[in-house]
């Protein structure tokens, strides 16, 4: 039992490292070759994990081999557009200028119900509102609405919004995020003064954030009874 546990932990760490090296894509955004490699890695890891009669190296070596294949294919994709088209495919336009392309649907084996489902997932309930719908190589459907149906933005009214920037976490569960403090050009002394306004110390803070406008949000931890 202990041997199985140790083998499981080792294989888990190996697979986790390999998946981190492969990148940060979500499952729904994986290219076909990436999905195939992910499935093979899971299968290769499961066999020596459960069967102690199989050397653990029989799982680790093929997994590392697949990682090398993935990195090699990724480089080829970057260098060659032709190879990229063969390995990843090309986007298909399912709706062109407001008209559904039946040939494209049949070619991609995509039903009208599936198309409507994908549109509803993007809060579009009327096919007549769509100017273009593009099936990406990852399987996602990108939708461009007709100009009169798009959500208005400040630029439409010649309005220039104030710069917002991004929000930085300065304290998370009582721990000071020193790197984020450096990013905004502040130090722990400044942070302590700001948090003191909320009648707490950094260690007593659940979360402290600092946005692009210089506004601070602070929430204290719940006191233990």
For residue 95, list its beta bridge partners: 100, 133
Closest to 141 measured CA to CA, from 108, 119, 112, 123: 119
Q: What is the pLDDT of residues 77-129, one digit of tens each?
A: 788 878 777 777 788 999 999 999 999 999 888 888 999 999 999 889 888 89
H or E segment to which residue 217 belongs: strand 216-220
Per the model's pLDDT, the better-predicted residue between 68 and 208 turns out to be: 208
More confident residue, 225 or 66: 66
More confident residue, 20 or 177: 177
Contact 49, 31 (CB under 8 A): no
Nearest to 48 by CA among 38, 63, 28, 36: 63
Residue pointed to by tokens 């659940």: 206
pLDDT at 23: 67
How do residues 62-80 score in pLDDT, each as one tens digit? Answer: 888 888 888 888 888 788 8
Domains in the chain with CATH codes: 2-86 (no CATH), 92-149 (3.30.240.20), 168-220 (3.30.240.20)
pLDDT in tens, 137-184: 878 899 999 988 878 778 778 888 777 778 899 999 999 999 999 999
Distance CA 47, CA 60 (A): 11
Please say if the pLDDT value at position 18 is more than 90: no
185, 223 Cβ separation under 8 angstroms: no
Decide if pLDDT at 27 tops 60: no
Q: Supply the pLDDT for residue 207.
A: 94
DSSP per-residue letters across 149-211: GSPP-GGGGT--PPP----EEEEETTEE-HHHHHHTT--HHHHHHHHHTTT--GGGEEEEEE-
Q: What is the reported pTM?
A: 0.60
Predicted confidence at residue 47, as pLDDT, reads: 78
């Amino acid at each position: 039992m202990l041997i199985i546990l140790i083998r499981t932990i080792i294989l888990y760490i190996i697979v986790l490292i390999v998946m981190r090296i492969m990148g940060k894509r979500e499952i729904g955004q994986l290219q076909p070759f990436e999905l195939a490699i992910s499935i093979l890695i899971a299968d290769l890891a499961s066999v020596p994990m459960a069967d102690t009669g199989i050397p653990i190296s029989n799982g680790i070596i093929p997994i590392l081999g697949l990682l090398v294949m993935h990195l090699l294919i990724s480089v080829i994709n970057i260098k060659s557009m032709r190879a990229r088209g063969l390995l990843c495919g090309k986007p298909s336009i399912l709706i062109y200028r407001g008209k559904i392309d039946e040939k494209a649907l049949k070619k991609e084996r995509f039903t009208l119900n599936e198309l409507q489902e994908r549109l509803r997932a993007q809060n579009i309930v009327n096919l007549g509102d769509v100017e273009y719908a593009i099936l990406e190589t990852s399987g996602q459907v990108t939708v461009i609405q007709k100009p009169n149906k798009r959500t208005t933005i400040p630029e439409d009214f010649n309005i220039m919004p104030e710069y917002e920037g991004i929000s930085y976490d300065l304290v998370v569960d009582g721990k000071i995020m020193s790197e984020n403090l450096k990013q905004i050009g502040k130090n722990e002394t400044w942070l302590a003064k700001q948090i003191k306004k909320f009648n707490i110390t950094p260690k007593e803070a659940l979360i402290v954030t600092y946005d692009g406008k210089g506004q601070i949000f602070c929430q204290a931890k719940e006191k233990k009874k």
